């Protein structure tokens, strides 16, 4: 039989005895063997261990009777894990020569929960070094390529996980997101990437984060149902993570009762390519026709504190990298990706007052956004201002007809990390060359299930009738 490709259907087939975890894993390993060499999405495949883990899932099923969804929600589902997240006994490198021989001593709590839910970790997915770059390439493994066009990048830093899902290698991947790393790559390759509220999914044990206090574990999947299935298996507090917290239960109010603010630039002074703007605009109009209560606030919205840009907040990442890697950098700067070396050098040059100013600004970002959610339930707009660009560049040279710096592609995602709110990227059509465009859906902190519910509505609506390209 032909096995279903979606996690919901795969797990249902395994639980119902119509397939087995071993068969599903063998099929995934065959897809990886055929498709991964062109993409370089997975940097390690643990076939033997994955089959043993699959057999263990089958034994769990055989030992029980009438296994229900809540018992093994991810029964037999193959998962790729970003090469920055600990998986016990596996080589986990962060794409860095400093950790080329590191083997994780324990599972991250999210990986523990994946296993408990019946998922099978088949391998590690590529990341930029220390997950601190907007394209996915590093000194150990080289670049990950876009599944639709291998001359393009899927973005970063979770380009490996996103490309693995979009390329049909695995139905689910676990990424991380500290500035958009698991929303922008999904937007570029046409899958769903979900950054939960800070603390919704327990973090660690694992590597120290350069960006303290905003990084989250992030499910990546082909559709919203699979994303929600994975999120529910991972969410919930754990006493080992003092930042972990419960989130609001699912709401019963109808989607049509939600007030959704549409912001074409999320209140930022940033250019957007015409094809992206038009795709998002068409999607928003389709949602309004389907009954969504869309409002278009006057002026800039959200209204951010004065001086807020991604550049103003980047000292936090640079200082974090300098704290973690400064000594190794001083000994031998050639060990690092040259782009990461520049960030470390900048971090070493910062004074304490500059870092504190960026930290205070990040706090103000969260307060400002929380105040504006008093009048709306969700905010939507583009995930990125451009589609994917050539593999050998840090970013597009122009956006919206204007020359831009290399990080201009990342402008619409980082502030929501600093605000610690949930944000999801949903495919919403295509731009030039048929390349995917993402719609970003944002809610107040703790309202993760609201985001997922509206995303499911939007996905169904857009699938029913939004044209894929400009008329």
- Indicate the DSSP class of residue 70: T
Contact 217, 173 (CB under 8 A): no
- CA nearest 191: which of 155, 215, 216, 217? 155
The DSSP string of 405-452 is -GGGGGTTSHHHHHTT--EEEEEEEE-GGG-EEEEEEE--TT-HHHHH
Tokens 């984060």 — which residue?
209
Which residue, among 54, 56, 172, 47, has the nearest Cα to 122 in the 3D structure? 47
Q: What are phi and psi of 203, to 5 degrees?
A: -115, 140
Please say if 181 is a catalytic residue: yes
* Contact between residue 255 and residue 454 where contact means Cβ atoms under 8 Å apart: yes
Q: Helices in 184-314 by DSSP H: which ranges?
A: 184-189, 224-234, 274-289, 310-313
CA dist 246 and 56 (Å) reads: 30
- 3 state DSSP class of 195: strand
The helix (run of H) or strand (run of E) holding residue 380 is strand 378-382
Q: Write out the DSSP string of 135-150.
A: S---TTT-----SS-T
The phi, psi pair for 439, rounded to 5°, reads -100, 125
The reply to whether 285 belongs to the active site is no
Catalytic residue list contains 157: yes
Cα angle for residues 139, 141, 145 (degrees, 5° grid):
115
Q: Give 332: exposed, middle or buried? Use CB within 10 Å, 0-12, 13-18, 19+.
A: exposed
Place of tokens 């996915």: 136
**Residue 46, Cα to own-chain centre: how many angstroms?**
23
Greatest distance between any 2 Cα atoms in the chain: 63
Q: How do beta strands 78-82 and 378-382 pair? A: unpaired
Q: Which of 19, 82, 127, 425 is catalytic?
A: 82
Q: What is the DSSP letter of 305?
A: P
Looking only at the bridges linking them, the beta strands covering 293-295 and 259-262 are parallel
Q: Which residue of the set 127, 157, 158, 263 is catalytic?
A: 157
Alpha-helical regions (H) of 205-314: 224-234, 274-289, 310-313
Active-site hit among 20, 181, 197, 263? 181
**Which single residue is written with the structure tokens 């782009």?**
339
Residue showing tokens 């990298």 = 321
Sole residue written with tokens 């490996």: 160
Catalytic residues: 82, 157, 181
């Amino acid at each position: 039989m032909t096995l279903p490709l979606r996690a919901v259907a795969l797990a249902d087939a395994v639980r119902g005895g119509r397939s087995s975890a071993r068969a599903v894993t063998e099929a995934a390993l065959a897809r990886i063997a055929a498709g991964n060499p062109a993409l370089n999405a997975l940097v390690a495949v643990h076939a033997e261990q994955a089959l043993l883990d699959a057999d263990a899932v089958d034994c769990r099923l055989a030992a029980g009777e009438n296994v229900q969804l809540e018992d093994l929600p991810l029964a037999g589902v193959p998962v790729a894990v970003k090469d920055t997240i600990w998986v016990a006994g596996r080589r986990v490198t962060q794409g860095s020569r400093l950790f080329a021989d590191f083997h994780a001593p324990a599972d991250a709590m999210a990986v523990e929960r994946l296993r408990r839910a019946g998922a099978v970790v088949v391998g590690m997915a590529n990341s930029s070094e220390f997950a601190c770059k907007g394209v996915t390439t590093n000194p150990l493994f080289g670049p990950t390529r876009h599944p639709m066009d291998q001359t393009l990048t899927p973005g970063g830093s979770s380009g490996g996980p996103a490309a693995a899902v979009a390329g049909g290698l695995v139905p689910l991947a676990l990424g991380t997101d500290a500035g958009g790393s698991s929303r922008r790559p999904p937007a570029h390759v046409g899958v769903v990437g979900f950054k939960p509220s800070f603390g919704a999914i327990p973090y660690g044990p694992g590597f120290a984060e350069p960006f303290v206090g905003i990084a989250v574990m992030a499910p990546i999947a082909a559709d919203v149902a699979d994303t929600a299935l994975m999120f529910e298996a991972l969410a919930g507090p754990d006493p080992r993570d003092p930042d972990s917290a419960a989130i609001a239960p699912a709401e019963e109010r109808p989607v049509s009762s939600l007030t959704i603010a549409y912001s074409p630039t999320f209140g930022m002074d940033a250019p957007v390519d015409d094809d992206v703007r038009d795709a998002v605009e068409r999607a928003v109009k389709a949602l309004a026709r389907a009954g969504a209560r869309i409002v278009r606030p006057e002026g800039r919205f959200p209204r951010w504190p004065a001086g807020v840009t991604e550049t103003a907040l980047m000292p936090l990442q640079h200082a974090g990298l300098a704290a973690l890697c400064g000594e190794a950098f001083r000994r031998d700067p050639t060990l690092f990706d040259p782009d990461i070396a520049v960030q470390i050098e900048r971090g070493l040059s910062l004074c304490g007052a500059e870092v504190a100013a960026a930290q205070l600004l990040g706090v103000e970002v969260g307060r400002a956004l929380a105040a504006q959610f008093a009048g709306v339930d969700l905010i939507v707009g583009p995930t990125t201002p451009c589609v994917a660009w050539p593999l050998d560049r840090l970013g597009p040279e122009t956006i919206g007809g204007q020359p831009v710096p290399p990080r201009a592609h990342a402008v619409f995602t980082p502030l929501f990390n600093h605000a610690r709110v949930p944000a999801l990227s949903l495919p919403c059509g295509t731009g030039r060359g048929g390349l995917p465009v993402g719609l970003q859906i944002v809610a107040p902190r703790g309202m993760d299930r609201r985001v997922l519910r509206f995303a499911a509505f939007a996905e169904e609506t857009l699938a029913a009738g939004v044209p894929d390209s400009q008329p």
